[in-house]
């Protein structure tokens, strides 16, 4: 079991990431974002950044949900994905001589974000576990796709993982809540 859990992500990233094929990955990232944000809208809408302002401006819970989901899908997900890839590319450029392109890095982040759907669960410990696993998937994906060591991949993944999974997906806030005992 342990071997398969460690081997499956490597196999997926080895076969599932192709040069210049960002569209499926972007669609996947948007779907993960919609699931995470949509779930939070259902169980704890006030925990979403900016929700109160949008709710006040629209005066309709349905319009508020549409605006929040639309902004998350059309603006936030692609922006976070590509900024994260840019940060990872800078880290990889400093650590790895022969590496794959930016397109592959975008795909790795998008697919590594799969556990982000669990951000909708209103338990900080679940969110921390899911986003920690996303960080591991991200480092594994970078190592496989860019043909580098796990150590170098982890170093290159540190800052973009903090940005994508810590800030954008709320991993830091969830960890703070776990530490505070919430």
**Residue 182 three-state SS:** coil
Displacement of CA 47 from its chain's centroid (Å):
18
- Residue 21 has phi, psi (to 5 degrees) of -115, 65
pTM (2 d.p.): 0.90
pLDDT digits (tens, 9 = 90+) for 1-46: 355 455 688 888 988 888 888 999 999 999 999 999 999 999 999 8
Across 44-59, average pLDDT: 90
pLDDT digits (tens, 9 = 90+) for 91-130: 999 998 888 888 999 999 999 999 999 999 999 999 999 9
**Residue 59 three-state SS:** coil
CA–CA distances in Å: residue 66 to residues 48, 54, 63: 14, 10, 5
Across 137-165, average pLDDT: 96
Residues sharing a CB contact under 8 Å with residue 120, sequence separation 6 or more, in sequence order: 35, 36, 37, 38, 39, 40, 42, 43
122 DSSP 8-state letter: S
CA–CA distances in Å: residue 129 to residues 3, 9, 124: 20, 17, 9
Unique residue bearing structure tokens 């948007």 = 30
- Percentage of the chain modeled with pLDDT above 90: 80
Tokens read off for 39: 């779930």
- Res. 53 pLDDT band, cuts 50 70 90: very high
- The confidence score (pLDDT) of residue 6 equals 58
In whole angstroms, give the CA distance from residue 10 to residue 12.
5
Displacement of CA 97 from its chain's centroid (Å):
26
pLDDT digits (tens, 9 = 90+) for 74-92: 999 999 999 999 999 999 9
- Res. 48 pLDDT band, cuts 50 70 90: confident
């Amino acid at each position: 079991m342990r071997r398969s859990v460690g081997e499956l992500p490597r196999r997926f990233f080895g076969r599932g990431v192709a040069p210049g094929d960002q569209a499926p990955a972007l669609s996947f990232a948007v779907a993960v974002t919609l699931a995470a944000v949509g779930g939070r809208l259902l169980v704890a809408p006030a925990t979403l950044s900016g929700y109160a302002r949008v709710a006040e401006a629209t005066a309709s819970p349905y319009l508020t949900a549409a605006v929040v989901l639309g902004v998350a899908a059309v603006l936030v997900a692609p922006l976070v994905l590509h900024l994260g890839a840019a940060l990872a590319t800078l880290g990889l450029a400093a650590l790895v001589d022969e590496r794959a392109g930016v397109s592959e890095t975008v795909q790795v982040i998008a697919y590594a974000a799969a556990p982000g759907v669990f951000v909708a669960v209103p338990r900080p410990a679940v969110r921390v576990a899911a986003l920690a696993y996303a960080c591991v998937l991200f480092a594994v994906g970078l190592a496989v796709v860019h043909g580098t060591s796990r150590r170098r991949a982890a170093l290159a993944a540190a800052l973009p993982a903090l940005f994508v999974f810590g800030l954008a997906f709320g991993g830091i806030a969830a960890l703070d809540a776990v530490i505070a005992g919430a």
